[in-house]
Amino acid sequence: AQTVTQSQPEMSVQEAETVTLSCTYDTSENNYYLFWYKQPPSRQMILVIRQEAYKQQNATENRFSVNFQKAAKSFSLKISDSQLGDTAMYFCAFMRNDMRFGAGTRLTVKP
């Protein structure tokens, strides 16, 4: 089964600064999808960004962008111009036949 690893349990960043969250995964598949989800205290899962493995171009969504390194099986999330509302748990997820999550990174944006 595929595994997803997030090695940063907690991170903090100053408001308006940039932060990068790391994610690596292990798979023998060639076609799959990768996601970053945000989970605020409400526990609602909010899709931040997705990446198709067959696309070489890194996905971007406004202040959020990824660095997808397929050969290295790495999928990091960069948040630019961090805002207080970005404070939440962030989960990296791998999807092929099902969706599996990393352990999560608790991000705190400080004023």
Partner 1 sequence: GAVVSQHPSWVICKSGTSVKIECRSLDFQATTMFWYRQFPKQSLMLMATSNEGSKATYEQGVEKDKFLINHASLTLSTLTVTSAHPEDSSFYICSASSGVRSGNTIYFGEGSWLTVV
Q: Mark the segment that binds partner 1 (CB under 8 A) among 11-19, 20-28, 62-70, 100-108.
A: 100-108
* Binding of residue 104 to partner 1 (CB under 8 A): yes
Provide the CA 40 distance to its chain's centre, in angstroms: 14
* Binding of residue 10 to partner 1 (CB under 8 A): no
* Binding of residue 102 to partner 1 (CB under 8 A): yes
Q: What are the helix and strand counts (H, E) for the chain?
A: 0, 12
Give the number of residues written for the chain.
111
Provide the CA 107 distance to its chain's centre, in angstroms: 11
User: Mask: binding to partner 1, 45-84, rule CB under 8 A, as x and -?
Assistant: x-x----x--------------------------------
* Binding of residue 97 to partner 1 (CB under 8 A): yes
Separation of alpha carbons 5 and 43, rounded Å: 21
